[in-house]
Structure 1
């Protein structure tokens, strides 16, 4: 009888724990949030990007590099082939995405691009593209050289490491050096399900160089987008389930020290930094339930959040765009250029608007 009572108590405690965690997960994933319309002027949907534009980065000359076709566990996808990288000239009179040809020696058939970053060599101005790749569910980083004249990228290197087990996004800081976010703590798929219930701030940022690979921060519930300040002194990380952007100061040993956490009120994905103003712009998911449990009759919305004066005592956080999913669904990135804003999505369209 005593054992039966003890077993009943254990079951009750476990049920209460799971119930509490489910409620907490729903709160953190903003399952009950609704969003209104807050459109920017002169928005234009871009043709040719039918399977998303998950990450976008823009070169100073107005060339946007776009990753598309991401297939990722737990997220909707409609791509029927390998992922691709596109180029878009924002200075052109007519906006037309051009697929970048990938040189020989790279497995195009399993290409599954996620986060991207650009590094320009100061010596000869060569441009290198860093791409998070998930071939067959794996996690690795590809380094390409961008050859604009040929509309192509040439594969140089594949980087794999046990610490890069669940990479989401990346910011390049050298020819083969970068910071990357792991959006899960566990590598094992079964343990990841348990991780969701535990909801602990275990996710990491990894520093990678050919000479040293290490964890430099491990305070995130779900580390997603990452970028660097124009002066290269701070790294910004989007902690999705904490609804915040973490400002991390780079130490001499490349470790990251938390300076502040700026609440944004949404599930923000990738981070782009305006090189002129230092403003941060994020493509965000206003409601996690609609994003994960995709329903074409009630599609997930899109939201763009901007942070101004992020290093001041009172950063200014504002919503610059919002849509209920009828125009663009599941926004993941928002990149400013010359008074315009290019908004990308995980699996839907890309939008080009005037930025107020």
Structure 2
């Protein structure tokens, strides 16, 4: 009898696991078009955009690369939301050692009149954090290479959050380094992802989480938000400014029915996410480019005792496939695609 119960229990666990993963893949979903206002497709290079960083005065850093090429080819552009007619300007990088450049995450910080840019560079031999000094003299952006940072705790990096010229948080999307182990970890949904704090040596500051992706901080620097890709949500943490430790906050966390790629926090402390609402289409496009993956932008406001979630943008993939990152600045919404293309929308909404 006990053998029958044990087999039944294991069978139920396996079935539940399969059904959970099928739900995550989103086979049951229908995606409809929804616009916050007038949207314009921007001319951009054919590379997909992995991440964006909003700086003061509406300047946006755009990290893009052709990740299928070998060696990996990547570039960083600027786009000014205060002067969108200027278009994209490629940043000239100097002093960087020879090697492939595949920027998948970036963050910036200003200190003593200087601007520093931290970049997650995913290379064949491993993932690294590269630090640059940004200059905007005569409106010609340049980045001067300062150093490269690596640590044994850095596994499969996804995004970085700068908090000082030598201090930053970084997300480990997974633990396994070999492809087979990575697939096993992914399909078993093991919560082996993590958030590290580095200065520049690293230490673990988060609870175990399933596939963390983007990371951003509130303007008052009290809260850190981490997007979960296949975890389908956003985790909020209270930050200790003295130790930089992160404490999970249930009232600042939310579960969503989309793969959350990157997260952005605006000047009001509201959270924005760029998401993939149909995971199976996203994966099919990544592997075979046969299906246009849909896009979704969500806006989350945390109240004293509640959370409000608004769908600001949605598309079936024909206008903008695979939304990867979003920034909001003065009623302007800039949305990036992991495939290719950028979208600038008017978001004249009474929040």
Q: TM-score if structure 1 supplies the norm length?
A: 0.88
Structure 1, unmatched stretches of 5+, are 1-5, 72-76
1:172 aligned to 151, 159, 162, which one?
A: 162
Q: How does 1:46-65 map to 2 (within 5 A)?
A: 46-65=42-61
Find 1:268's aligned residue among 250, 260, 278: 260
TM-superposed deviation, 1:105: 3.4
Which deviates the most, 195-204 or 284-293?
Answer: 195-204
Distance 1:20 1:197 in 2: 13
Deviation readout 1:314-333 (Å, 9 max, x if unpaired): 01111000000000000011
Deviations 1:185-215 (Å, cap 9, x if unpaired)?
22232211211232122210011113x4211
- Distance in 1, matches of 2:291 and 2:86, equals 29
Q: Secondary structure at the match of 1:134?
A: strand
**How many Å apart are 1:69 and its aligned residue?**
1.2
Q: Secondary structure at the match of 1:190?
A: helix
Aligned equivalents of 1:15, 1:349: Cα separation in 2: 45
| Runs of 4+ off more than 4 Å | 10-20, 77-81
Displacement of 1:48 after TM fit?
2.4
1:267-306 pair list within 5 angstroms: 267-275=259-267, 277-294=268-285, 296=289, 298-306=291-299
Do the aligned partners of 1:202 and 1:218 also contact (CA within 8 Å) in 2?
A: no
Match of 2:215 in 1: 226
Residue 339 of structure 2 aligns with which residue? 347
The structural deviation recorded for 1:241 is 2.5
Superposed counterparts of 1:1-356, under 5 Å: 20-69=16-65, 71=67, 82-92=73-83, 94-107=85-98, 109-121=99-111, 123-124=112-113, 126-136=114-124, 138-149=126-137, 150-210=140-200, 212-251=201-240, 252-260=242-250, 261-275=253-267, 277-294=268-285, 296=289, 298-308=291-301, 310=302, 312-356=304-348
For 1:195 and 1:41, locate their aligned partners in 2 and report how far apart those are by CA, in whole Å: 41
Distance in structure 2 (CA, Å) of the matches to 1:138 and 1:81: 13
User: Are the structure 2 counterparts of residues 217 and 298 from structure 1 closer, same or farther at C-alpha, using a change threshold of 3 Å?
Assistant: same
Q: 1:137 to 1:38 in 2, by over 3 A?
A: farther
Aligned CA RMSD, in angstroms, stands at: 2.4
Could you tell me how far apart the structure 1 residues matched to 2:340 and 2:96 are? 30
Q: Secondary structure at the match of 2:109?
A: strand
Q: CA deviation at 1:81?
A: 5.6
Indicate conservation of the 8 Å contact 2:270/2:299, yes or no: yes
Deviations 1:260-299 (A, max 9, x none): 1212321111111111x11111110011111111165531
Aligned residues: 338
Partner of 1:347: helix, strand, or coil? coil
Instruction: Tell me the secondary structure at the aligned position of residue 183 of structure 2.
Output: helix
SS state at 1:241 partner: coil
CA pair 52-270 structure 1, distance change in 2 beyond 3 A: same
| CA shift in 2, pair 1:339/1:80, >3 Å | farther
Give the TM-score normalised by structure 2.
0.89
Q: How far does residue 179 in structure 1 lie from its aligned partner after superposition?
A: 0.8
CA positional deviation for 1:220 = 1.2
Separation in 2, partners of 1:189, 1:81? 18
Cα distance change of structure 1 residues 311 and 157 upon mapping to structure 2, 3 Å threshold: farther
Q: Distance in 2 between matches of 1:218 and 1:93?
A: 40
Aligned equivalents of 2:235 and 2:7: distance in 1? 38
Preserved CA contact (<8 Å) 1:205 1:215: yes
* Alpha-carbon distance, 1:236 to partner: 0.5
Structure whose residues are more often strand by fraction: 2
Cα deviation, residue 17, structure 1: 6.3
